[in-house]
Amino acid sequence: MGMEILVGNLNTLGFYDFFLPFLLFVAIIFGLLQKNKVFGEENTKAIDGIVAMCVSFFVINYTPIGLYFSMLFAIGASIIGAILVGVIILGMVGIDMGKFFNSGEGGKLDNKYAGPAIAGVLLVVIGLFLYASGLYDKFIKGYVPSIGEDTIITVVAILFVIVVFVVITGAGKKAPTS
């Protein structure tokens, strides 16, 4: 119960919408200034730190970037959770993910389904990101007016089930060696 109050108080104080994005930008800008030696080759950590903090304050104050990062990390956590559930389900039906993506000689994937599986997972992740972030509604939905969201979700789900079925039924077969 105490952690809920603490998290709520941090949210009220702007910890997630202001402070954490501010620290993220300070770290990124400071690292870029240090790496690129913008203010010279000498020890310029103090100057780089002040410039990084100033730029970060401007970015956080004049843009809604804190809310964007809060939403982005929430979407990312949801996608990672969905991938984890998928890996658990595949493990329950007997597919060992370590062996499924086992690299052969020269780094080549031994399993002929590994490449299409990676491509499929990437497509699903990109689709989930576009849909969850609102980019689908903003950019894509207007170009596909005759297809509703429910239809698209149904087609993607059916394709996913078909791919899982093909992988499960074909995973135990060995490819003929020549």
φ, ψ (nearest 5 deg) of residue 109: -75, 130
User: Among 29-33, 95-99, 161-165, which is the least confidently predicted range?
Assistant: 95-99
Q: Taking the domains of the chain in order of start, what are their residue ranges? A: 2-63, 67-170
Minimum mean pLDDT range among 22-31, 44-53, 151-160? 151-160
Given a cut of 80, is residue 32 above it in pLDDT?
A: yes
Nearest one of 63, 64, 65 to 24, comparing CA atoms: 65
pLDDT confidence of residue 147: 63
Average pLDDT, rounded, for the chain: 75
Q: Among all chains, which residue has been given the structure tokens 């203010």?
A: 39
What's the CA gap between 37 and 173, in Å, rounded? Answer: 56
Min mean pLDDT across 46-50, 51-55, 109-113 is at 109-113
Residue indicated by tokens 């089930």: 161
Helical segments of 2-113, H only: 2-12, 20-36, 45-62, 65-92, 97-100
What is the pTM (predicted TM-score) of this model?
0.43
Q: Lowest-pLDDT range, 12-21, 37-46, 146-155?
A: 146-155
Q: Which residue type is seen at 130?
A: L
Position 119 scores a pLDDT of 80
Per-residue pLDDT at 100 exceeds 70 = no
Give me the pLDDT at residue 24, please: 84
